[in-house]
Chains A and B, each alone.
Chain A
Amino acid sequence: MDAASLFSQFMSGLTTAMFLFLIASGLSLVFGVMRVLNFAHGSFYMLGAYIAWQIVQWLQPGPGRFWLAVLGAATGVAVLGAVVERLLFRLLYDREELYQLLFTYGLVLILGDAAKALWGTQQLSVSGPPVLGGGIELFGTIVPVYNLFIMLVGPAIAVAVWLMLTRTTAGRMLRAAALDREMLGALGANVGTLYTGMFALASFLAGLAGALVTPIQSIVPGMDVEIIVQAFIVVVIGGLGSFWGTFLGSVIYGQVLSFGILIFPGFSLFSVFALMAVILILRPWGLLGRPLR
């Protein structure tokens, strides 16, 4: 095993990690504030991919087509997320978490079939923006430019969301809502709008990830349930509700998957699950999460 192929594995792991971060960060945000594991988050990701494909079909070929599609997909999914939260999910906040979990699962079923009805079951793909085509030689291995772009987008989004959470009023309120929702409401904050906004933001991130993944992965039915399991593992490793934990969890997941292939060919999926099991047993609250009350 030479250095070049190790580096190549590392880079591919990092690309996986950044995609996962985009998805898992939204899952973790919703969990951190609302204490709900949103199964439908994977469906939002899938819809992002399909909507991006649809917009590309509608638009004339041009330099901005892909970016418009990405933006449109993320925004569309964000609006859908906001509508779902406002009209339906809101009614379940006072109920047991079982009902909330099952509601998000109901959404998975409905959205999955809706996507099948609208876009069929065949594989779809979107070609990436020409600007980011080709590859760059780094340390004796060729890295696609698009992957490098994703490696920049991930941390950029991470920093942006982190700044939003720590530096803005809305972010502070969100963190306060995670600690004590009723107290925040009693202090005069509009918790309802806050939740809708947060759900929209999380959905936006899922839609963004779904749209951005289209140039390197084909769009297929079933990508929703597949991705939600991976995102789930990431947040469990990093610590549910912990923002940087999610980032760390994504990086670890990507690298374990990438190098796991070298060590146990065919069992790399298992190495990720094994890691999750060890963490669950030793630190059930995740690497950077806080112990539960």
Chain B
Amino acid sequence: MTERAEIAVGIGPRAGWRVPWTLIVFLAVLSLPWIGSRYDVFLGTQIAISALFAMSLNLLLGTAGLVSFGHAAYFGLGSYACGILMKDAGVPFSLAFPAAGVIAATFALVFGFFCVRLTKIYFAMLTLAFAQIVWAICFKWNDVTGGDQGLPDVPFPDLAWLGALPGFQRFRIGELFFFVVLVLVAVSIAVLRRITDSPFGRVLTTIRENPERAAFIGVNVRAYELAAFTIAGGFAGLSGALFGIFNRGVFADFVFWSKSADVMIMTILGGMNHFWGPAVGALVLTLLNQQITAYTEYWPFVLGTILVVLLFVFPGGILGALDAALSRVWKRRHA
């Protein structure tokens, strides 16, 4: 990642002027409620939330090289935490949202403590096992989580203040919530970017490339991995909190292992070696899902086929393939 993106703040690095793509994309998406239909806004919200979920996973998958097959656990925990706080305890969104992240991160810290002691496939299985334990509890603990009935009717946050602003009066709660989601997701992604580019993130990449060598030069590999696991869990929890509200309910399905696999497909589809890969994956997969489910009920079949083709033909994902194609053109032109 040679090019530092100018997230949120819009200030580029000193080395020459660059087009602030991140800011342009952010502003373009922000204008969606004015130019698009209500359904576009609905899709936009879903894509933004999925993008954050997938990017939180990619801190483990792409940056640290940790294959977590239980990332849905933290997404679901954040969902339940935010949903229960807002619906049953009447806590405002401004508190419930960060609380969801903290709770998910705490669980990630505890589970991660055991997981990072294992490597590779065993790590993947232990994360999967913990996620299934969380699922079993969510599925059965009727008094708190609603069991198999889930937690319906999670309220929207009170956004009357936003709707009262000039220019926003025509929007309903769905569109107002889109603005909230977009800003929170943008800020979260900016923080993830800072973390990825920080010395801490560089050490994670070192661990991914060669854990033995990292340990040899004095890096506490487990501590770094645990920190990454906790941070990723926290951001997954934040995305889950948003999704529970967006979905108007939290259900045990959020935690099921196939959900962990789905977010992984998103990440791989976009390209896990690129910071923005998971977001591209979220965009493409959500739009594709919307197109294909209009024609056939066999979406999983299509998804499975896409996945298999991806694994065999484009293991680098969409951005990886674009990268390769661009560099080929570049080479030909300068040959």
Contact = CB atoms under 8 A, between A and B. Distances in A.
A93 to B, nearest CB: 13
Interface stretch (B2-10, B112-120, B161-169): B112-120
B269 to A, nearest CB: 10
Contact of A37 (B121, B132, B300): B121
Interface stretch (B177-185, B243-251, B304-312): B304-312
Interface string B236-280: 000000000000000000001110010011001000000000000
A107 interface: yes
Pick the 9 closest A-B CB pairs, nearest first.
Answer: A109-B304, A113-B301, A110-B304, A106-B307, A273-B136, A109-B300, A106-B308, A106-B304, A273-B133
B251 to A, nearest CB: 15
B120 A97 contact: yes
13 contacts: A35-B121, A37-B121, A92-B311, A98-B124, A99-B311, A102-B307, A103-B308, A109-B300, A110-B300, A113-B298, A272-B136, A273-B136, A284-B118
B315 interface: yes
Contacts of A240: 125
Given A236-B125, A273-B132, 20 more contacts: A39-B261, A95-B315, A97-B124, A98-B268, A101-B67, A102-B307, A102-B311, A106-B305, A107-B308, A108-B258, A108-B304, A109-B301, A110-B301, A113-B301, A232-B129, A233-B132, A236-B129, A267-B140, A280-B129, A281-B114
A110 B308 contact: yes
Contact of B118 (A99, A112, A114, A292): A292
B325 interface: no
A178 interface: no
Contacts of A281: 114
B69 interface: yes
A272 B140 CA distance: 13
Contact of A270 (B67, B128, B137, B265): B137
A105 B105 CA distance: 27
A229 interface: yes
Q: Counting chain B CB atoms within 10 Å of each CB, which of A102, A233, A236 scores highest? A: A102
A91 B312 contact: yes
Interface string B291-329: 000000010110111011001100100000000000000
B165 to A, nearest CB: 44
Interface of A: 35-37, 39, 88, 91-92, 95-99, 101-103, 105-110, 112-114, 116-117, 225, 229, 232-233, 236, 240, 266-267, 269-270, 272-274, 276-277, 280-281, 284, 292
Contacts of B265: 102, 105
Best-surrounded residue of A98, A233, A277 (most CB of chain B within 10 A): A98
Contacts, number: 116
B301 A114 contact: yes
A117 B299 CA distance: 12
B61 interface: yes
Contacts of B137: 270, 273
Interface in B126-177: 126, 128-130, 132-133, 136-137, 139-140
A106 B256 CA distance: 16
Given A229-B257, A270-B140, A103 B311 contact: yes
B122 interface: yes
A13 B304 CA distance: 35
A269 B125 CA distance: 19
Contacts of B298: 113, 116-117
Nearest to B126: A280
A35 B261 CA distance: 19
A273 B70 CA distance: 15
A92 B307 CA distance: 13
A272 B139 CA distance: 14
Contacts of B300: 109-110, 112-113
Most chain A CB neighbours (cut-off 10 Å) among B119, B124, B261 = B261
Contact of B114 (A101, A272, A280): A280
Contacts of B117: 284
Contacts of B129: 232-233, 236, 276-277, 280
Given A229-B132, A280-B126, A102 B261 contact: yes
Contacts of B133: 273-274, 276-277
Contacts of B261: 39, 102, 105
